[in-house]
Structure 1
């Protein structure tokens, strides 16, 4: 539930918000909410950044893949959490500490991460069906 809240900000910050909101095609309120949520998450999970357009922001490691990609790969591996992290670290050259940051973020935002993994799996399945249909058409 949204609540009306009042903040005092400098004219410079207000102009920057107005400009950015117009550039992204969103309201100042929507932009400010997104910036606050992302800012708090970045402070809670150092090493996490956010990428993508305003309508489709996603958490990622600052110098690495999206969080959902990390979790998806870990789900594909066998063994304990530590074994999976070690395996993925060796595959990707990501430091295990960064992988743990991604897992910690994902644990706190599980619905968001699972939704993105599911969406990606659906896209893969749809793409495979399209390839099979094209191949069947040409045989």
Structure 2
């Protein structure tokens, strides 16, 4: 994380202990970088009710409460828009909602979050698509090798 404006923050003793414990379990993190992450995430969640953050194999990511990753929803919306360019916005949301089994209100939540952080979500989508392409190529090479 980049350096920002210095701030003096006093944490309650319990919060300070939990932050210290978190940093100890996450090499490379400092108390400042962890606090920055959690404050940023809390502010994002305040601005976008229905979005939370979760750790996973692809690092920490925005997730819909009771639903999939925001990036998965946005990827579906982009796919629906590309496949059905004549649908209006409400019909795209309805199509994604039906196909993904995710309520339309959560689709709208993901879209609002993406609108605020498009570069972040689009980079994640690009990374997933690149991984999928590489996995498919590796599978095809294995099939070619083993073919008669």
Identify the residue that residue 97 of structure 1 maps to in structure 2.
105
Q: For residues 88 and 130 of structure 2, what CA distance do their matches in structure 1 show?
A: 27
User: Given the two structures, how large is their TM-score scaled by the length of structure 1?
Assistant: 0.93
1:76 aligns with 2:79: yes
Identify the residue that residue 87 of structure 1 maps to in structure 2.
95
- Structure 2 counterpart of 1:6, from 8, 32, 41: 8
User: Given the two structures, how large is their TM-score scaled by the length of structure 2?
Assistant: 0.88
Q: Secondary structure at the match of 1:9?
A: coil
Which aligned runs of 4 or more in structure 1 are off by greater than 4 angstroms?
A: none
Q: Secondary structure at the match of 2:52?
A: strand
Q: For residues 63 and 9 of structure 2, what CA distance do their matches in structure 1 show?
A: 29
- Count how many residue pairs are aligned between Structure 1 and Structure 2: 139
Identify the residue that residue 20 of structure 1 maps to in structure 2.
22
- Structure 2 counterpart of 1:30, from 26, 29, 33: 33
- The Cα offsets for residues 2-51 of structure 1, whole Å up to 9 and x where unpaired, read as 12110122222111110112122321111101100100000100110101
- Structure 2 counterpart of 1:123, from 122, 126, 131: 131
Consecutive unaligned residues of structure 1, counting only runs of 5 or more, are: none
CA drift of 1:81 comes to: 2.0
CA drift of 1:93 comes to: 2.6
Indicate the RMSD between aligned Cα atoms, in angstroms. 1.6
Identify the residue that residue 108 of structure 1 maps to in structure 2.
116
